[in-house]
Amino acid sequence: MTETELIATPARLEVAVIRGSAAPCELVFNAHTDPAVIPQWWGPRWLTTTVDTMEVRPRGIWRFGQYDAGGTPYALHGAYHSVEAPQRLVDTFELGDTPGRVVLQETAFESWEGV
């Protein structure tokens, strides 16, 4: 599966995004937790991403910077709540210019038959 499926149920504060990959869970988990790899895939493509801090452990923090072609900075940050390699990450996500609007996100890494 390489398509993306988006599930948003009315009246729930929850959105599920399902993506597939032919890569093993360990490799995909590593892509989400290795600061050297994050700038290679973190989007959108028209922004350049830098990793300022990435403490992948419970209660560890992460902070990324993104920059457009004109050099305008955008700050992203959060904290890890749970790290279960290579199956699951739970962390928060907050945009630097919208303090107090925190998203709790869970990323599950599962093997799929036929992928």
Q: What is the pLDDT of residue 10?
A: 83
Residue 35 resides in a domain: yes
Residue 28 resides in a domain: yes
Residue 52 resides in a domain: yes
Q: Which segments within the chain are labelled E, that is strand?
A: 4-8, 15-19, 48-54, 61-67, 73-84, 88-95, 103-108
Residue 115 resides in a domain: no
Which residues constitute the domain of residue 26?
4-108
Residue 45 resides in a domain: yes
Q: 48, 40 in Cβ contact below 8 A? A: no
Tens-level pLDDT at each residue, the chain (115 residues): 457 888 998 888 888 888 888 889 999 999 999 999 999 999 899 999 999 999 999 999 999 999 999 999 999 999 999 999 999 999 999 998 888 899 999 999 988 765 4
Residue 37 resides in a domain: yes
Number of independent structural domains in the chain = 1
Residue 104 is part of a domain; what is its CATH number?
A: 3.30.530.20
Handedness of CA 31, 35, 36, 42 (dihedral sign): positive
Q: What is the pLDDT of residue 81?
A: 98
Q: What is the pLDDT of residue 113?
A: 64
